Amino acid sequence: MTEHHTAPAAPGTGATLVTGATSNTGGRVVRRLVSLGRPVAAASRGAAAPAGARGRASTGTTPPPTATPCAARTDCTSSRRSATWTRRGSSCRSCAGRAAGVRRVVLLSSPAIRAGDPGVGQVHAALGDLFETWAVLRPSWFMQNFTGRHQHADSVRGDGVLTTATGTGRVGFVDADDIAEVAVHALTDDPPPTGDLVVTGPEALSYDEVAALLSTVTGRPISHVPVGFADLRDRLAAGLPVEYAAFLAGLDRAIAEGAEDRVTDTVLRVTGHPPRTLGEHALAHLGQRPAQATRPDRTRPTYAPGDTAPCERPRPRA
């Protein structure tokens, strides 16, 4: 999702403002809302508005003084990175949204960021005092990292290699479609799911297990190459600022220490169906069979509702 701001909206629209509306999750949220017949105002940086969105606020990295997210709308969803600029003025702009009549806010954050932490965590902490209804979605790592536009996906397609500092640590990878579906329920259900919602897939997998699964699906040998924190940091620093490279390598190290090893029942509890498995997702996007053959019976949960592994986890951008 992208950094952005939104301009004030016309009063009485009753629309849902989706910021980062052309991003990995935001675009999916827009499409689902449109399919439900909901009026949607889409905000994104430079890209065309998704089909069906009613109006679009062009955005940039720094909001002008008049920018008020979610203004004059009854519902609102905000992306994780939209809060990148909000941390420079989250309280006043959130208050402006409240004054404009916003009823619901859904914020996309990360399990790495708790309420009160710098940046998005400060927005998270403020929501309860500012809005009537709110939810914070904290999804695990995206399955699309292996199939979309991501360094892991590029490496899988090109070299057949996944290079990480995760060791044998496991992750509850989640499909962005499931995240978006939870977000739409949080925006439209009455009563909606609220509060802190950690969103994962149905199983926690190590990168060795991911490589084996992708090998089976693609019919190509794909291997996981484990490296240490310093090695990964130095590799990433070849194309990124050193501080950011160290941050990303640190996320892998946290996985190695068990910080991501859990699953939750959020998708099942909110949507009524279990989350998609990585095998299903990979087969739909990387396999040889048609996509309709990749979705087995989703009415049977693969874990007991309420089960969750004990660890919190950090997560980089999707």
The reply to whether 314 falls in a domain is: no
The reply to whether 25 falls in a domain is: yes
Distance CA 246, CA 19 (A): 29
**Domain shared by 150 and 290, yes or no:** yes
Which of the pair, 6 or 263, is modelled with greater confidence?
Answer: 263
The reply to whether 303 falls in a domain is: no
Please give the model's pTM, rounded to 2 decimal places.
0.77
CA angle 15, 17, 20 (to 5 degrees): 155
Report the pLDDT value the prediction gives residue 55, as an integer from 0 to 100.
52
pLDDT band at 16 (very low <50, low <70, confident <90, very high): confident
Residue 292 CB partners (closer than 8 Å, separation 6+): none
Least confident window among 37-51, 104-118, 256-270: 37-51
Residue 99 CB partners (closer than 8 Å, separation 6+): none
Nearest to 248 by CA among 156, 161, 137, 151: 151
Average pLDDT over residues 301-310: 34
Residue at which a domain ends, from 115, 139, 163: 139
The reply to whether 247 falls in a domain is: yes
Domain span at residue 252? Answer: 143-175+201-261+276-294
Amino acid at 145: N
Q: What mean pLDDT value characterizes the chain?
A: 77
pLDDT at residue 177 above 50? yes
**Domain shared by 212 and 288, yes or no:** yes
The two structure tokens encoding residue 37: 């017949």
The reply to whether 112 falls in a domain is: yes
**Domain shared by 164 and 286, yes or no:** yes
Average pLDDT over residues 188-196: 93
Percent of the chain with pLDDT over 90: 52
Distance CA 141, CA 175 (A): 9
Average pLDDT over residues 168-191: 96
With beta carbons less than 8 A apart as the criterion, state whether 79 and 1 touch.
Answer: yes
DSSP string, 204-254: -EEHHHHHHHHHHHHSS--EEEE--HHHHHHHHHTTS-HHHHHHHHHHHHH
**Domain shared by 147 and 108, yes or no:** no
CATH number at residue 252: 3.90.25.10
pLDDT band at 77 (very low <50, low <70, confident <90, very high): low
The reply to whether 85 falls in a domain is: yes
Q: How many domains does the chain have?
A: 2
Report the pLDDT value the prediction gives residue 32, as an integer from 0 to 100.
93
Each residue's pLDDT tens digit, 97-143:
554 567 789 999 988 888 888 888 888 998 888 888 899 999 999 99
**Domain shared by 235 and 286, yes or no:** yes
pLDDT at residue 12 above 70? no
**Domain shared by 124 and 112, yes or no:** yes
Quote the longest CA-to-CA distance of the chain: 57
Residue 243 CB partners (closer than 8 Å, separation 6+): none
pLDDT at residue 292 above 70? no
Nearest to 311 by CA among 254, 266, 249, 229: 254
